[in-house]
A and B are shown apart, each in its own frame.
Chain A
Amino acid sequence: MTEHHGAGWVQRFGIGLLIVASVAAAAWVVLSDHRENTGSIHLLNVSYDPTRELYQEFNPAFAKYWKEKTGQDVIIEQSHGGAGKQARAVIDGLEADVVTLALAYDIDEIASRGLLPADWQRRLPQNSAPYTSTIVFLVRKGNPRGIRDWDDLVRPGVEVITPNPKTSGGARWNYLAAWAYALKKELGDLKRLDDPAAADDVKKAQEKARQFVTELYKHVPVLDSGARGSTNTFVQRGIGDVLLAWENEAFLAVRELGPDTFDIVVPSISILAQPPVTVVDKVVEKHGTRQAAEEYLKYLYSPEGQKIAAKHYYRPVDSQYADPADLERFPKVQQVRIDEVFGGWQEAQKTHFNEGGLFDKIYQPGS
């Protein structure tokens, strides 16, 4: 009987302890979110996939600069993922002080929910893109498939790896670059797109471009949700003959995994990709971080910021500050602008990528 008494007490004590522990832990969770208002300032940068390494180096550089300038500690937190997914998270309440995404349309989406003004792209120089990139091909060492240009991608048996344009910004640039190539091939000069006299030719060329891109996506065995996922599919899992990649992503893969495994192929024509940055007004007003957030983005345009961008294979908009050795790595490539060929991101998104747009008609899995 006494033993039974003892056991009961131990169990009651155990349960009590369990409840106290869980309540304490729960309280700690709730309170820990509110403890952070001590001296230092926090910024959350919500970015797309391939910028991880860039911001890993840029953030400490900015923190140092800010400390020297104001005496204040700034702690920058990073979140990375497919650009479309990241924009969605910000819309759903991920409290990003700044967004640094793959393309303007995703930030337009955030703006359309009232989190920042619609004319955000005019707030910083160069359409708010402190660095640019382009789309290149990554092939296996020695280029066994002999891939030189876009036409080679649709040769029989060639497998192309590119992410899903619905969720990935890089994938949308890939798609548009391919489209622009086909247009250029048909029209000879992309300036004819705006020539009313060439309207018939343009219509024919658009149809040809659609056929080309349709054929291209028949060569895609798997659509990952983000650029880094596609790189891993190509690089780690060894699937596909050619990866359509951000230039910086291709360089990084070559650097990380050895120059003896991959080659970069530069097509005859590519697209000028401008990954834009902006402050999320609603969030910085709530956090009281506007000044630091704005300065953070401006610092991307500073000599230091431009140098770091070039180091991580992003083409700096102001190349005079970059290390010449870094600049030399960028191949010469003819880059078309989205505004010239597709009438800007809003237009391109509506025509090609929205629900029921051209991509939905072009890409039928399993066909």
Chain B
Amino acid sequence: MRTVATTKPARRSTLSEPVWVRWLLIGAALSFLGLFLLIPLAAVFVEAFRKGVGAYFAAFRDPAALAAIKLTLLVAAVAVPLNCVFGLAASWAIAKFNFIGKHLLITLIDLPFAVSPVISGLIYILLYGLNGWFGPWLAEHDIQIIFAVPGIVLATLFVTFPFVAREVIPLMQAQGAEDEEAAVTLGASGWQTFFRVTLPNVKWAVLYGVILCNARAMGEFGAVSVVSGHIRGKTNTLPLHVEILYNEYNFVAAFAAASLLAILALATLALKSFVEWRTHRTAPNPLEIPYEGGPLA
């Protein structure tokens, strides 16, 4: 473990590099960021407004675009709360109790991070596709899962599953079970303990996880692309809609839709910074949890 606090005062004296080396390094890092992050981000907005503000907003009046935005919001509205509840339940079980198969559960939670989104989509086709395991039964009962909204929701649930749990588990583990034990000794019931002790202790971590989960749910492309069927105005989420518009030479509309996703990413970053700042202020142990995979990766 690094001991940041003790090395900090000594830092100035040990810095022996000449000034120009430091500036060179800082310059290199900044130009790299500019080249690979800022310019592409700016390019999205430049392209989106290429034909003026009117054309930009016209892109959102297209019924297919509206349907894509609605579907994206709907998918997030289902996936995020469910994963929030699942994530909390899983972290609670893992951090506060000992049981057989605990390590297996932790590994399973990480599974969606480990597999490629294409696989996440294909497994649902294997399960619910017409020739899949449950396909014939579903067809018999006229239930459409793949190439319809339920399939998209399922694929999104799968890929966003780890986000809340991943944020909450380390914090709960660090906090231990003493507070809960005290609450139980004082006569609190299970639910009371959870709502009055456990949840308030981790609320910022939960929020942090929810923000990341939401960003990924709205931005997911790979898994959703596999199960969507690409029916215009019906099963296209916003990221899929961007691809379709681009392929139709409709660049302004494509980048206008892409700019919505970019704004979402920026809002996510702002919220994330706010939550980090709040946690630093309210809790002594900050949320310094290694985090795999970007929200819009």
Contact = CB atoms under 8 A, between A and B. Distances in A.
Interface of A: 4, 7-8, 11-12, 15, 18-19, 21-22, 25-26, 28-30, 32-33, 44, 49, 52-53, 77-81, 89, 91-95, 113, 228-229, 232, 252, 256-257, 286
B200 interface: yes
Q: What 5 A-B pairs come out closest when comparing CB atoms?
A: A93-B130, A22-B81, A92-B129, A94-B147, A256-B249
B248 interface: yes
B247 interface: yes
A12 B195 contact: yes
Contacts of B139: 93
Nearest to A252: B249
Interface string B225-251: 000011111100000000010111100
Interface stretch (B30-38, B107-115, B148-156, B275-283): B148-156
Given A21-B77, A89-B229, A93-B144, 9 more contacts: A18-B81, A22-B82, A44-B231, A53-B248, A79-B229, A91-B131, A92-B132, A93-B139, A95-B144
Contacts of A18: 81, 84-85
B100 to A, nearest CB: 28
Nearest to B234: A77
Contact of A81 (B150, B230, B233): B230
B271 interface: no
A301 B234 CA distance: 28
Contacts of A229: 247
A25 B203 CA distance: 24
Contacts of A29: 74, 78, 149-150, 153
Contacts of A257: 249
A229 B248 CA distance: 11
Q: Report the contact-size class of chain B (Cβ under 8 Å from the partner).
A: 35 or more
A356 to B, nearest CB: 23
B149 A32 contact: yes
B224 interface: no
B196 A4 contact: yes
Contact of B135 (A11, A78, A93, A94): A93
Contacts of A93: 128-132, 135, 139, 144, 146-147
B265 interface: no
B247 A228 contact: yes
A139 to B, nearest CB: 19
Nearest to B139: A93
B199 interface: yes
Contact of B149 (A19, A33, A228): A33
Contacts of B125: 92
Contacts of A81: 230
A256 B249 CA distance: 7
Given A18-B81, A77-B232, A94-B147, A113 B131 contact: yes
Given A22-B82, A89-B147, A79 B131 contact: no
29 contacts: A8-B192, A8-B195, A15-B195, A15-B199, A18-B85, A21-B77, A21-B81, A25-B81, A29-B153, A44-B231, A52-B247, A52-B248, A77-B232, A79-B229, A79-B230, A79-B232, A80-B230, A80-B244, A80-B247, A81-B230, A89-B147, A91-B131, A92-B129, A92-B146, A92-B147, A93-B128, A93-B130, A93-B139, A256-B249
Nearest to A231: B247
Nearest to B200: A7
Contacts of B85: 15, 18-19, 22
Contacts of A89: 147, 229
A22 B144 contact: no
